[in-house]
């Protein structure tokens, strides 16, 4: 059964007792061991793969060298025949036969290597997939466990706290009250600031037409005109 399915069953309807483990500690250890084993196997498979790939390359090189020798000796045999030396041509032909036998052997080995590589690559892919899958599932189990433990810790804090789980409504009201208080404080601070700066008094005096009135451009223009008139 997949872990998520297990978790689903376990949490459905809150049937589970608080603190009851979904997968026991031993189960988790086994799971972790499985992941570690899979990682080791993966490491080994990768090392094998590089070895086999190196051997495949070597064999391919040997085959191409043999191909070169064969065509070279075929040329020699032709030359011997041209010179009418049948015996030498036959000897060369035997040599070519040796090369071809050797080549056939190498080709068989090469086929084995290629198959091995395909198999190893498949193995590696599967190991990687299974490691990832196991890690994801383990992480789900561990997260559930952590949240559970955290919840117990939170519960004991909340219970010892005087501000224990009061109703959400009350909490919200207190928060909103505090926000309002802060707003009011901010407003009061602003009022106080303008008062101490004398802004408030000035504003009142201006309203009453007392004190330094604002000179506006019309006044200035009138003053200039008056000067000119003098």
Partner 1 sequence: MELNELSIKLATFETEGVGFESFMIANPGEQDVLQVIVDGNDELPIFVTQTQEQLLCISYLFSEEEVKADLKDELNDTLLRLNVPIPLSAFAKVDNRYAIFGALSVSSSFDDITHELVTLADNAIEALEAITPYLND
Provide the binding-site residues for partner 1, judged by CB under 8 A.
Answer: 14, 18, 139, 142-143, 146-147, 149-154, 157, 163, 165-169, 171-172, 174-176, 178
Q: From the CB of 146, what's the least distance to partner 1, in Å?
A: 5
In the bound state with partner 1, the residue whose beta carbon lies nearer, of 179 and 197, is 179
Tell me how far CA of residue 110 lies from CA of 66, 89, 202, in angstroms: 14, 31, 101
Q: From the CB of 37, what's the least distance to partner 1, in Å?
A: 19
Tell me how far CA of residue 50 lies from CA of 58, 109, 114, 120, 209, in angstroms: 12, 17, 12, 10, 97
In the bound state with partner 1, the residue whose beta carbon lies nearer, of 50 and 157, is 157
In the bound state with partner 1, the residue whose beta carbon lies nearer, of 47 and 178, is 178
- Sign of the Cα pseudo-torsion (163, 166, 164, 151, in order): negative
In the bound state with partner 1, the residue whose beta carbon lies nearer, of 172 and 203, is 172
Q: From the CB of 173, what's the least distance to partner 1, in Å?
A: 9
In the bound state with partner 1, the residue whose beta carbon lies nearer, of 142 and 202, is 142
Residues 52/117, Cβ–Cβ less than 8 Å: yes
Question: Residue 3 and residue 140: Cα distance in Å, rounded?
Answer: 8
Q: From the CB of 5, what's the least distance to partner 1, in Å?
A: 19
Per-position b or e across 126-161, b if 16+ CB within 10 A of its CB: ebeeebeebeebbebbeebeeebeeeeeeeeeeeee
Q: From the CB of 114, what's the least distance to partner 1, in Å?
A: 40
* Selection from 23, 39, 36 nearest residue 142 by Cα: 23
In the bound state with partner 1, the residue whose beta carbon lies nearer, of 36 and 65, is 36
Q: State the CB neighbour count (10 A cutoff) for residue 66.
A: 20
Q: From the CB of 143, what's the least distance to partner 1, in Å?
A: 5
């Amino acid at each position: 059964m997949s872990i998520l399915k297990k978790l689903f069953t376990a949490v459905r309807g809150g049937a589970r007792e608080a603190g009851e483990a979904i997968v026991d500690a031993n189960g988790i250890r086994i799971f972790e061991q499985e992941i570690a084993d899979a990682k080791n196997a993966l490491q080994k498979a990768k090392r094998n793969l590089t070895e086999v790939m190196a051997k495949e390359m070597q064999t391919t090189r040997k085959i191409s060298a043999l191909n070169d020798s064969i065509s070279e000796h075929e040329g020699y045999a032709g030359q011997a025949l041209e010179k009418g030396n049948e015996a030498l041509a036959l000897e060369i032909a035997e040599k070519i036969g040796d090369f071809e036998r050797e080549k056939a052997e190498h080709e068989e080995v090469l086929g084995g290597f290629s198959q091995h590589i395909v198999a190893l690559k498949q193995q590696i892919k599967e190991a990687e997939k299974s490691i990832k899958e196991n890690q994801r599932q383990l992480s789900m189990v561990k997260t559930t466990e952590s949240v559970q433990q955290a919840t117990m810790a939170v519960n004991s804090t909340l219970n010892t706290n005087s501000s224990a789980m009061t109703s959400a409504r009350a909490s919200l009201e207190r928060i909103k009250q505090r926000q309002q208080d802060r707003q009011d404080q901010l407003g009061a601070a602003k009022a106080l600031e303008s008062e101490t700066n004398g802004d408030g008094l000035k504003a009142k005096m201006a309203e009453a037409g007392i004190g330094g009135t604002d000179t506006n451009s019309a006044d200035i223009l009138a003053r200039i005109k008056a000067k000119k008139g003098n």
